[in-house]
Amino acid sequence: MKRRNFISLGAVAGTAPLVSLITPEQVQRTEKRYQKGASPWPVCLDTATIRPSLLKDKVKIAAKAGYDAIEPWDGELEEFEKKGGNLKDLGKEIKDLGLFVPSVIGLWNALPPTKERFEKSLEDTRRRMRMAADIGAHHIQTIPNTVGKNFDQKWVAARYRDIIEIGLKDYNIRPALVFVKYFPIKTMGQATGIALDANHPSALIIPDVYHMYISEGGFEGLKLLKGDMIAIFQFNDAPALPALPQLGDEHRVYPGDGILPLAAIFKDLKASGYKGCISLEMYNPGYWKEDHFKVAETGLRKTLEVLNKAGV
């Protein structure tokens, strides 16, 4: 029997042919891509990257620079409302400009170590969730800044579960847990353990490559995670100097301008099956002094250069 006829008969009979007729390039073309095909993920601008600008200006800058999404902070939303702004209207404007809001930062003081303090914190937690929901956010970051130095993981996991339930049932938003070197929950491993112990199907974490690095938790653990566990992935780069123990948030630099293995990280992220946003987050005061559109534009360009290097 001729090879061509054999393959055809296999297809008719419903059996898999011995030779795959689909190339990796064809598979890549069938997946949803962004940035004119240059990225497997929507690219988001964290508003801290251009912090001094007003929120409405940041939205316009992100759209003009070519981002897919924008990630604001709760303080900006609060200030916007205090000045008479309507967050639902702003959410519509964001959507009309072709952007969306994958996440809002965040739920501060939401995981205190006692029942009394937790119940007291819920008023602010609900207020922040409401603002995030009004602007159309998919997620809100749960920030473990008050868990206490010797936190009880079982307690924190249970309270995080409570917060997930409130978010889903009352605001249609999915709270996700972050880790920060400067807070008691410092590493991705710690955050992942708490999310697992929350025993909830919507428990999620938000990795940040900078805190993966400066917390010395490392990057290899990313290979062990399923992408469905990640709400949003924040990235930037770290310089060679100052030395690791002296690095602060203000030292974040453009992707590709530092020493982090971003190309390898993006390969591992892709292999995990992650489908959400990658969000450029920098708190560099030097960038704040520059033209904010230029900073946003440069950040996106350098992001796409790293993605191209990664071959994802």
Q: Is residue 192 part of a domain?
A: yes
Q: Is residue 268 part of a domain?
A: yes
Q: How confident is the model at residue 131 (pLDDT cuts 50, 70, 90)?
A: very high
- Residue 123 sits in a domain of what CATH number? 3.20.20.150
Q: Is residue 266 part of a domain?
A: yes
Q: Which residues have a Cβ under 8 Å from the Cβ of 109 and sit 6 or more positions away?
A: 121, 124, 143, 145, 146
Q: Is residue 88 part of a domain?
A: yes
Mean pLDDT of 243-251: 96
Angle between helices 262-271 and 292-310 (to 10 degrees): 70
Detail the DSSP E strand segments found in 23-122: 43-46, 69-71, 103-107
Q: The tokens of 180 are what? A: 């920060």
pLDDT for res 29: 54
Q: Is residue 250 part of a domain?
A: yes
177 membership: H or E segment, kind and range: strand 174-178
- Residue given tokens 């970051």 in the structure block: 141
CA-to-CA distance for 74 and 87, rounded, in angstroms? 11
- Give 279-309 pLDDT, tens digit per residue: 999 999 999 999 999 999 999 999 999 999 9
pLDDT for res 31: 85
Q: How confident is the model at residue 130 (pLDDT cuts 50, 70, 90)?
A: very high
pLDDT for res 22: 41
DSSP-assigned letters across all residues of 247-282 = --GGG-B-TTSSSS-HHHHHHHHHHTT--S-EEE--
CA-to-CA distance for 252 and 285, rounded, in angstroms? 10
Q: Is residue 170 part of a domain?
A: yes
Domain carrying residue 293:
40-307
pLDDT for res 249: 95
Domain tally for the chain? 1
Q: Is residue 25 part of a domain?
A: no
Mean pLDDT of 257-283: 98
Q: How far is CA 91 from the centre of its chain?
A: 19
- Give 2-49 pLDDT, tens digit per residue: 434 433 334 334 444 333 444 445 445 578 999 999 999 999 999 999
- Give 188-229 pLDDT, tens digit per residue: 999 999 999 999 999 999 999 999 999 999 999 999 999 999
Q: Is residue 51 part of a domain?
A: yes
- Give 51-98 pLDDT, tens digit per residue: 999 999 999 999 999 999 999 999 999 999 999 999 999 999 999 999
Q: How far is CA 93 from the centre of its chain?
A: 22
